[in-house]
Amino acid sequence: MKSTLPPHHGLPDSILNDPELVMRTDPETPSLTDVQYEALSQGAARGTSMLVVAPTSTGKTLIGVWALTTWLLNAPPRNAVYLVTHRALARQKFEELQALLCERYFQGDKHSIVLANGDTIEDGAGSVPTDPLNAPVLVATYEKYLAMLSGSGSPSDTSRHIIICDEIQIIGDEHRGRSIEVLLTMLRNARWGQFIGLSAVIDPRDAKDLSEWLGAKLVHVGQREKHLHYECRTLSRIRTFRTDRPELGIEEKTPPGPLGTEKTIAELKKNKSALPIVVFCMTRKRVDEAVRAYAQSLGMKIDDTHPLHPKLHEPTAAARNLSQFIPRRFAFHNAELMDDERRLVEDVLKNKALDIVFATSTLAAGVNFPFKTAVFDEWKRWNPKTKTRDPLPASEFQNMAGRVGRMGTAHSHGAIIFSSTGTFIDAQASNQYLQPDRATPLTPRITPTGFSQLALQLVSSGVCLNESDVAEFLSSTFSAMRERESNQTGLEHWRRAMAQSIQALREWGFLL
């Protein structure tokens, strides 16, 4: 932690004097994490583009807010785009920025901040904006923003925009990475004014390459502000790792602790210092099963006609259940909750009125809540392509684990508990989770096998108009940069594949 601001930090007095934007140990002494200090030192509040990589709970989100706010204040009119990975997170970030910026910097104009996700496009007044892409502040999911840009034509100049990309490691996601790389390539080619990328789980080599491609400074701080204690429980022993004692490596202890979600929760509840607990489940169905099993363990009988909580208005099944569960200090959270249901769960959790939350990974997407312990109900997910249950990528596991022991909580550390069968294969798979500083390498997701579909997408959306445009666009992607580095022939085989894809488009009548 730092108790001073770096020289030439760039923060105006309106931010420096705001206790919600600059934490202080006393009225005269600011309190910055190491990565916040370094980001300000490198110019985050002076218009410098940067990729910020630091462990969870080190205050990266505030760096994005500082950059966004100073960008808007320094030379209006300017625009800001804040991109996130999930609909629920977009809604939460939209509400946070409304609370932080609307009265302070937009004179109460609720039309100035716009939300765009898979559900809606709306401004802070609840209206549908006529020109959401030109709103002073737009909060959107990556795919929604890509769809909006594709529908209106690829931008040619974004020099008056700051682009903030949360959880930017999603560019390597197996299912979503290609679309997000297309979006970032469009924005990069349109020359943004400032870019801030945020991640907790990018490998150092990948971070260097990605920052070079983005044309951004790399700010990489490995020091944790709060430490994590990991436990992998098997039938015969507990395997542990502590980030505050990395020199000890992975240790083994006996006797083993309770196995299974229900028994683990029962054990943890006896120790109030282990609360609150988030129980991560791989599917919404499993969340429902686990929360009902917990309710039954308390002797509860779920009543489908139970009166609604005062803050809930629609009599959905989820609302009825939450109305019964919350008074007993437990709840559930997933992407299908209605806004008032999600907001209620998050509010009572922040107010320390919950001990246990059963959740899907949506609660792990950059959301800041005061959990002490994370219990993984499962760490394998069904893969419909291979028809197998595959271990979570290490970076996704660590991002979920990072929801515990957050900055601003009284907890000295966070605890992560998961179980393994103890077989050789499971032990090898689970080892990666006991090495939290080893991130999953970014895998480029634009490859020649997908050129025909991608070329069609680029042409049909108007991003590219002809063969030359397609070739130029694909050659400017992060995947192309990686290919040039790893292949002695450069992009020669890419060019052959591009030519075949363009010829196919001509034969289909999409290009003349």
pLDDT at 81: 97
pLDDT at 407: 52
pLDDT at 439: 75
**HSE-up (13 A, CA, CB side) for residue 235:** 4
- Could you tell me the domains of the chain? 13-220 (3.40.50.300), 227-434 (3.40.50.300), 448-508 (no CATH)
Segment 201-210, tens digit of pLDDT: 898 999 999 9
> Looking at the predicted structure, is the pLDDT value of residue 410 above 70?
no
Band of residue 130 on the pLDDT scale cut at 50, 70, 90: very high
DSSP state string for 309-357: PTT--S--HHHHHHHHHGGGTEEEE-TTS-HHHHHHHHHHHHTT--SEE
Band of residue 512 on the pLDDT scale cut at 50, 70, 90: low
- Residues 129 and 112: their CA atoms lie apart, in Å, by 10
Q: For 422-431, what is the mean pLDDT?
A: 83
> Looking at the predicted structure, is the pLDDT value of residue 216 above 70?
yes
Band of residue 150 on the pLDDT scale cut at 50, 70, 90: confident
Q: For 367-379, what is the mean pLDDT?
A: 86
Q: For 354-363, what is the mean pLDDT?
A: 88
The secondary structure element, H or E, covering residue 295 is: helix 284-297
**HSE-up (13 A, CA, CB side) for residue 185:** 26
Q: Mean pLDDT highest for which of 101-105, 109-113, 434-438? A: 109-113
Question: Which of these ranges, 316-325, 382-391, 501-510, has the smallest mean pLDDT?
Answer: 501-510
Q: For 373-398, what is the mean pLDDT?
A: 89
> Looking at the predicted structure, is the pLDDT value of residue 128 above 80?
yes
Q: What is the DSSP letter of 76?
A: S
Question: Which of these ranges, 61-70, 182-191, 448-457, has the smallest mean pLDDT?
Answer: 448-457
Average pLDDT, the chain: 89
Residue percentage of the chain with pLDDT more than 90: 53
Band of residue 467 on the pLDDT scale cut at 50, 70, 90: confident
pLDDT at 367: 58
Q: Which residues contact 282 (CB under 8 A, 6 or more apart)?
A: 360, 377, 378, 380, 381, 382
Contact between 405 and 227 under an 8 Å Cβ cutoff? The reply is yes
Reduced to 3 states, what is the DSSP secondary structure of residue 270?
coil
pLDDT at 354: 95
pLDDT at 503: 84
The secondary structure element, H or E, covering residue 501 is: helix 492-508
Band of residue 441 on the pLDDT scale cut at 50, 70, 90: confident
pLDDT at 72: 92
pLDDT at 401: 87
Handedness of CA 452, 454, 460, 463 (dihedral sign): negative
> Looking at the predicted structure, is the pLDDT value of residue 141 above 60?
yes
Question: Which of these ranges, 109-118, 351-360, 387-396, has the smallest mean pLDDT?
Answer: 387-396
Contact between 411 and 403 under an 8 Å Cβ cutoff? The reply is no
pLDDT at 87: 86
Q: For 357-378, what is the mean pLDDT?
A: 81
pLDDT at 364: 62
> Looking at the predicted structure, is the pLDDT value of residue 355 above 90?
yes
> Looking at the predicted structure, is the pLDDT value of residue 374 above 80?
yes
> Looking at the predicted structure, is the pLDDT value of residue 92 above 90?
no
- Residues 89 and 341: their CA atoms lie apart, in Å, by 14
